[in-house]
Amino acid sequence: MIILNGNYGEGGGQILRTALAYSTILQKAFEINDIRKGRENPGLKNQHLYCIKALRKFCDSAAEGDELGSLSLKYWPKKFIGRNVEIDVETAGSITLLMQSVLLPSMFAGKPFTITLIGGTDVSWSPSFDYFNNVLLPQLQRFCRIEARILKRGYYPKGNGKIEIKFNQSFKLIDFDSFGGFVEKLSGSVPKYDLTEQHNLIQIKGISHASKDLQQARVSERQSHSAQKTLARKFNVPLSIKSEYHDTLSIGSGITLWAIFSKRRDDIDEKNPIRIGSDSLGERGKKAETVGEECAMELIKEMESKAPADRHLADQLLPFMALLPGSKIRTSEITQHSLTNIYTIEQFLGKKFEVDGDIISVL
C-alpha cells in the first residue's frame, strides 16, 4: 500500500484528489495520514468525501476513515467502468475540484459515456467552469475527445449549478498488462506536451456571467466592458467577451478570460494549443468594474511572463503530463500546489519530474 503524507506542502485536498485518480487507473491502494494537520479545521471536509463518493459511482471501491474530520484514509480501488451517472456534490461544492479525481480515470474508460454534475460551477479557491472548459480541456483532447457544457450556474452558498461532460473516443487502460506498457503505448500514439514558448498572440476571449437578479444592474456587461477596456490598452488583437445571465439559487457573478497563442499568425494549433487563462468572482460590496479589471490584470501578468502555461494550468496538467515522457512546459510560476502535485504523482510512479527554474520536464 502506498503511504502518503497528507501534510506535505499545501497538503490535504490536492494530495487526496490526485491520489484517488492515480490509485484508480493503476489499481494501487493507498493510505494518507495527517490530512490537513494543523489547519483550523483539520481532517477531511465534505468536498473531499464527495470525491470518494463520486468514484464509487463507477467502481466498487472500499475506504476506511472516509468520514468528516478524519485525519487518515485508506483506499482500495476497483476497476473503473464508464457509465452515464449523475453526481450531486450538494450546495456549492466545487464541480471542477471533484473532477480532478474523476477526470483521469474517465479518459481511459474505453467507451463513451456522460457525467452530469450538480454543485458549484464558479466558487472561490477552485477553477471556474469556463477556465476548465476553455483552458484545461483543450490540452486534454490529445488523450480523449471530451465535450463539456454548462446547463446552469451555481454560486456560493447554495450552488445547484449543473454541467454535462461527455467522454467519447479514448484509450483502454485494460489493454495493457502494466502501467509501464501503458506509458510506452501512449508515447507512440499521443503527442507529448511541448509548451515552452508563447509564440504569437492571436486573440483574447472571455465569458462574463451573473445571476438574473443582477441583470437590471447590468453586472455582467460592466464586468465585460471593464476587462475589455483594460486589455485593449495593451493588446491590438481581436477581443471577444460574451455576457450572459442565469437563473440561480444564490446571487453571484464572475468572469473568465483566456488568451490564445499560436506558432503561426493566421492559424491556431489544435494539437498543441497555447492558452493562458484567468478568472475572478464578484462579491458583495465589490464593483463589477473592479471584478473585470482584476481578471484582465491577472491575465496580463500571466501573459507578460512570456510563459505558455499560467501557474494554475501547470498544476492541473501535471497528472496528465506524467503519462507522456519527454513532455516539457514552461510556466509563469512553480507554485507550492504544483510541487505538492508532483510529490503525490511520484509516490505512485517513482521519479518522473525535473524542475529547472520555470520549466517542468517529464523524465
310 vs 190, more confident: 310
Q: Position 75: which residue type?
A: Y
C-alpha cell at 289: 468594474
If you average pLDDT over residues 156-180, what whole number do you get? 74
Residue 176: the pLDDT is 42
Residue 179: the pLDDT is 55
Residue 177: the pLDDT is 43
Active site residue 337: yes
Least confident of 72-81, 85-94, 265-274: 265-274
Q: How far apart are CA 153 and CA 256, in angstroms?
A: 13
Q: Closest by alpha carbon to 102, among 86, 91, 124, 121?
A: 86
If you average pLDDT over residues 285-300, what whole number do you get? 98
pLDDT in tens, 10-58: 777 899 999 999 999 999 999 999 998 878 888 998 889 999 999 999 9
57 in Cβ contact with 63 (< 8 Å) = no
Q: Which of 48, 209, 312, 337 is catalytic?
A: 337
If you average pLDDT over residues 258-270, what whole number do you get? 83
How many alpha carbons fall within 13 Å on the CB side of residue 350? 4
Residue 174: the pLDDT is 40
SS3 169: coil
C-alpha cell at 195: 509548451
SS3 328: strand
pLDDT in tens, 311-352: 999 999 999 999 999 999 999 999 999 999 999 999 999 999
Least confident of 5-14, 71-80, 93-102: 5-14
CA angle (344, 331, 224) in 5-degree steps: 110
Phi-psi category of 193—alpha, beta or left, where left has phi over 0 and alpha has psi -120 to 50?
A: beta
Q: Which residues of 312-334 are buried (b: 16+ CB within 10 A; e: fewer)?
A: bbbbbbbbbbbbbeebbbbbbbb
Q: Which of 39-53, 142-156, 256-270 has the highest mean pLDDT?
A: 142-156
Count of beta carbons in the 10 Å neighbourhood of residue 244 = 13
Residue 180: the pLDDT is 55
Q: Closest by alpha carbon to 57, among 10, 20, 5, 8?
A: 20
93 in Cβ contact with 126 (< 8 Å) = no
Q: Position 147: which residue type?
A: E
Res 172 pLDDT > 70: no
Residue 182: the pLDDT is 59
Q: How far apart are CA 206 and CA 360, in angstroms?
A: 28
Residue 189: the pLDDT is 73
CA torsion angle 331 24 324 16 (round to 10): 20
Please report, in angstroms and rounded to a whole number, the separation of the first and last CA atoms in the chain: 24
Q: From residue 297, give the alpha-carbon distance in Å to each of 25, 281, 330.
A: 39, 14, 20
Mean pLDDT of the chain: 92
Q: How far apart are CA 95 and CA 294, in angstroms?
A: 24
Residue 175: the pLDDT is 44
359 vs 175, more confident: 359
Task: Tell me yes or no: is domain 200-304 CATH 3.40.50.11720.
Answer: no
Residue 122: the pLDDT is 97
Range list of β-strands (E), the chain: 2-5, 30-33, 62-64, 73-76, 85-88, 113-119, 146-152, 161-167, 194-195, 200-211, 239-246, 253-262, 274-281, 328-330, 353-356, 359-362
* 8-state DSSP, 82: -
CA torsion angle 260 266 272 274 (round to 10): -20
- Sorted by sequence, the CB contacts under 8 Å of residue 267 that are 6+ apart come out as none
SS3 154: coil
Least confident of 61-70, 105-114, 166-175: 166-175
Q: How far apart are CA 334 and CA 198, in angstroms?
A: 17
Residue 183: the pLDDT is 61
Res 184 pLDDT > 60: no
Q: How far apart are CA 33 and CA 251, in angstroms?
A: 38
Residue 111: the pLDDT is 86
* 8-state DSSP, 109: B
Task: Tell me yes or no: is domain 82-175 CATH 3.40.50.300.
Answer: no
pLDDT band of 171, cuts 50, 70, 90:
low
Residue 185: the pLDDT is 62
